[in-house]
Chain A
């Protein structure tokens, strides 16, 4: 299919399905058609030539204000340039078709948004897409675009991947440039791709790698393109037990176990002090997020989503000494976890404790205890991103289940290749797959 035909097909799907899914907040049809025509006029072979993609609306898109899911940012001047990762995707031939709905300022695990309405789960419109990259999950899961980009501070790529039944990559912290994206928590923010299959995930990841002087957090390591045609054999795979088995539904645990069997997992292992790692990530998030938004809290508090505003105000009141200790603990937890990787190549854990909850739901039942839903959806993702480990979220459809659920395939820092090889193996074996919506 040529680029114009691929883009027109995507625009037609968006026109038909987006009024229901509410995944897009802007469709860049004119720009996309011009780009597609230019691609078709060129003989240059490109890895993503003509592939439509869309981005969470915290990515700068030239000519649009960068909303980051907020009302307040609608008053910002339009971005003057595309984010680095959009530029790299388009340099590889992909075609941007729009901006995607998200939880306000990325402080969210639900995909709900008080200003734009919720993005909806493609398999059950009464359920959450997951957050904060909810529009990304909904757009890819719903088949509107084959690839989307999102951000993940505490789980915001892995949670929507789990709820919407797609593949997502949260790379190593610092691997992909954040330049030209609206921040949330500088210590923890990551950007990464979503896709309906591992091949597209890898193509997008490879296209976006590379150093970037515009992002001081971006690694100086050269690009390390991944080839998943290598077999996944020989990997030492272990299920994370202890903290990562507590509070999960039977479906979440069964999905992990199915992946473990398919990958030939050996004895389980534990990440010591994972609960404290989650607590430290929570503390750093609340306080750095509050610092980012302090002026907006002073001048426009009534224009925030109240749920976000109240968490940010609380974060502004946490003593700095506790935040510094959380950052010291981060170093300890990193060193401790690297020792676990001396005896493992891949660690497995649930993405979420349950499949997609109902929109509007405010509590979760974990191990018989009723807990607030918003913060607890990310209990298994937060300790992992806290120390920047690369993770591929893979979708599992268990027999007789109406909804998918995701599993985290976690590798040591800078070993995205191992997690992606394992994901490719699972896809080829039929254990993990995207299921097109009827």
Chain B
């Protein structure tokens, strides 16, 4: 079992999302794409002071 499959099994158990084993290949493919794209943000250098975009105004 690779890391994505471990994450899917553990994550869906922790979040109490019931999944049919037949759905796993599609979930895995989608997760791989999202994590690959998110990694391209992770590797981009941002200053500590860069505030996230949403601003909450009470």
Which A residues form the contact surface with B (CB < 8 A)?
A: 187, 273, 275-276, 278-280, 282-283, 286, 294, 297-298, 301-302, 306-307, 309-311, 313-318, 322-332, 334, 375, 387
**B17:A314 contact, CB within 8 angstroms:** no
A280: chain B residues within 8 A (beta carbon): 37, 41
**A309:B41 contact, CB within 8 angstroms:** no
Q: Find residues 29-58 in chain B having any chain A CB closer than 8 Å to their own CB.
A: 30-31, 33-35, 37-42, 44, 46, 50-54
B1 at the interface (CB under 8 A from A): no
**A326:B17 contact, CB within 8 angstroms:** no
The B interface is mostly helix, strand or loop, or mixed, namely helix
B41 → A minimal CB distance (Å) = 5
Contact sample, A vs B, 28 pairs, CB 8 Å cutoff = A275-B40, A276-B40, A279-B38, A279-B40, A279-B41, A280-B41, A282-B33, A283-B34, A283-B37, A283-B38, A306-B26, A307-B26, A309-B23, A313-B12, A314-B30, A316-B17, A317-B11, A322-B39, A322-B42, A325-B38, A326-B38, A327-B52, A328-B46, A329-B44, A330-B52, A331-B50, A331-B51, A332-B46
A412 → B minimal CB distance (Å) = 17
Q: Report Cα–Cα, A313/B9, bound state, in Å.
A: 11
B28: chain A residues within 8 A (beta carbon): 314
Q: Which of B12, B35, B52 has the most CB of A within 10 A?
A: B52
B18 at the interface (CB under 8 A from A): yes
Which B residues form the contact surface with A (CB < 8 A)?
A: 7-8, 11-12, 15-20, 23, 26-28, 30-31, 33-35, 37-42, 44, 46, 50-54
**B44:A317 contact, CB within 8 angstroms:** no
